[in-house]
């Protein structure tokens, strides 16, 4: 290519191959990524590793299987709750799950609308304070229906009065009782309303970084379409979630059939050494060396009833010694348990 400063020289035109070569030279080779394990060890570069993105600002403490189980549980809760409130109000009350997720307490409270109606409740005997959020338009529509209205949507958005809150508590108790009844298989819960608020900005029922299980339900009541939210601290339901996991793992594990001992013909010709012995008394080594032929050893009178029968060197039975014609026999009266056998062996009694 000619000098650009020389106006009398024409420019040299480059073909596509030369342009590609110049671009390849300008591009730097990619840097090799180094991956470290959780314990600080350097990862094997030759081994293909699966790397997944993780959002530390929005941690998820539940696995997909746990969330699926909780989703099924809350779907049953929504179905039963819709039927129960419809009977209570004598008007169709439609509910549908909009979202079930986990998020921090700070994000949950920041996402609460204003104005709103918040009900703070506890579930005995669990720890922690949970939150039920209901739009004021829906709350006023429900109160209007309870007072004999036709259930038309109330257009105004304002804070509820004390009388309206007292009337609304009847429906809130139904919601909480139905939610607690879904956990009856794990624990018997009793809901308790502890307060009402109209702004979530100043709530301090949990730490800001506490994980919340948030359920959002879409409500269709007459011509009113709003949402109801329930936020439960994860540490509140964690014992019941672990209990559900343990039960499912136990149900999924194969049941081992108990094998019963059966007699086989091949056992008939196996010989087993048997011996009857007495644990009479103890002698010192000096006393043993002084024994002579003709010496008489005194034994307890009931020793014949404490005859120990050993099979292959293992003590198995207790019996009584007697005579049958011209033979000495032992009548088995008791079986020695495995605990007694191990105790005797641990004390050197073979």
Least confident of 4-8, 70-74, 239-243: 4-8
Beta strands in the chain (DSSP E): 94-104, 117-124, 130-134, 190-197, 211-221, 224-233, 274-277, 307-311, 314-324, 327-335
Residue ranges of the alpha helices (H) in 147-272?
162-181, 234-252
- Kindly report, residue by residue over 123-140, the tens digit of the pLDDT: 988 889 999 999 999 999
Q: Are residues 241 and 321 in the same domain?
A: no
Say if 160 falls within a structural domain. yes
How much is the pLDDT for 258? Answer: 61
| CA atoms of 103 and 216, how far apart (whole Å) | 13
- Kindly report, residue by residue over 78-120, the tens digit of the pLDDT: 999 999 999 999 999 999 999 998 888 989 998 898 888 999 9
Q: What is the CATH number of the domain that holds 174?
A: 3.40.1550.10
| CA atoms of 143 and 81, how far apart (whole Å) | 18
Q: Which domain holds residue 345?
A: 271-280+299-350
- Kindly report, residue by residue over 302-334, the tens digit of the pLDDT: 777 888 888 887 888 888 888 877 788 888 888
Q: Are residues 100 and 213 in the same domain?
A: yes
Whole-angstrom CA distances from 147 to 88, 169, 240 are: 12, 14, 38
Residue 106 · residue 209 · CB < 8 Å: yes
Mean pLDDT of the chain: 80
The total domain count for the chain is 2
Do the strands 117-124 and 130-134 form a parallel or antiparallel pair, or are they unpaired?
antiparallel
- Kindly report, residue by residue over 47-86, the tens digit of the pLDDT: 666 666 655 555 556 667 778 888 888 999 999 999 999 9
Say if 244 falls within a structural domain. yes
Nearest alpha carbon to residue 139 among 158, 122, 121, 111 = 158
Q: What is the pTM (predicted TM-score) of this model?
A: 0.57
Least confident of 16-20, 54-58, 146-150, 165-169: 54-58
Q: Are residues 200 and 348 in the same domain?
A: no
CB atoms within 10 A of CB 97: 15
Nearest alpha carbon to residue 178 among 226, 136, 217, 225 = 217
Say if 124 falls within a structural domain. yes
Q: What is the CATH number of the domain that holds 311?
A: 2.30.330.10
- Kindly report, residue by residue over 194-217, the tens digit of the pLDDT: 999 988 888 888 888 888 899 999
| CA atoms of 79 and 73, how far apart (whole Å) | 10
Residue 44: pLDDT band (50, 70, 90) is low
Q: Are residues 225 and 331 in the same domain?
A: no
SS3 191: strand
């Amino acid at each position: 290519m000619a000098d650009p400063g020389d106006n009398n020289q024409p420019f040299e035109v480059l073909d596509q191959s030369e342009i590609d070569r110049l671009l390849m030279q300008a591009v730097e080779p990619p840097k090799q990524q180094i991956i470290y394990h959780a314990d600080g060890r350097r990862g094997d570069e030759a081994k293909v590793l699966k790397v997944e993105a993780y959002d530390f600002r929005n941690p998820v403490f539940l696995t997909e299987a746990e969330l699926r189980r909780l989703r099924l549980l809350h779907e049953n809760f929504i179905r039963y709750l819709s039927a129960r409130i419809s009977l209570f109000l004598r008007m169709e009350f439609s509910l549908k799950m909009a979202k079930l997720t986990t998020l921090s307490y700070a994000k949950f409270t920041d996402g609460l609308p204003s104005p709103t109606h918040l009900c703070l409740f506890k579930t005995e005997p669990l720890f922690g304070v949970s939150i039920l959020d209901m739009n004021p338009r829906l709350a006023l529509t429900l109160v209007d229906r309870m007072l004999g209205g036709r259930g038309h949507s109330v257009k105004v958005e304002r804070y509820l009065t004390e009388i309206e809150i007292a009337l609304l508590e009847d429906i809130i108790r139904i919601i909480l009782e139905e939610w607690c009844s879904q956990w009856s298989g794990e624990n018997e819960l009793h809901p308790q309303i502890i307060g009402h608020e109209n702004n979530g900005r100043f709530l301090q029922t949990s730490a800001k970084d506490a994980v919340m299980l948030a359920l959002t339900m879409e409500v269709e009541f007459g011509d009113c379409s709003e949402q109801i939210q329930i936020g439960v601290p994860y540490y509140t339901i964690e014992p019941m979630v672990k209990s559900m996991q343990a039960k499912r793992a136990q149900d999924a594990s194969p049941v081992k059939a108990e094998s019963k001992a059966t007699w086989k013909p091949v056992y008939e010709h196996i010989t087993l050494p048997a011996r009857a012995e007495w644990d009479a008394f103890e002698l010192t080594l000096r006393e043993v060396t002084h024994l002579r032929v003709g010496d008489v050893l005194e034994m307890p009178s009931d020793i014949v009833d404490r005859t120990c029968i050993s099979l292959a060197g293992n003590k198995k039975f207790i019996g009584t010694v007697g005579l049958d014609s011209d033979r000495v026999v032992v009548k088995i009266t008791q079986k020695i348990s495995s605990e007694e056998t191990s105790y005797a062996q641990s004390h050197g009694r073979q």
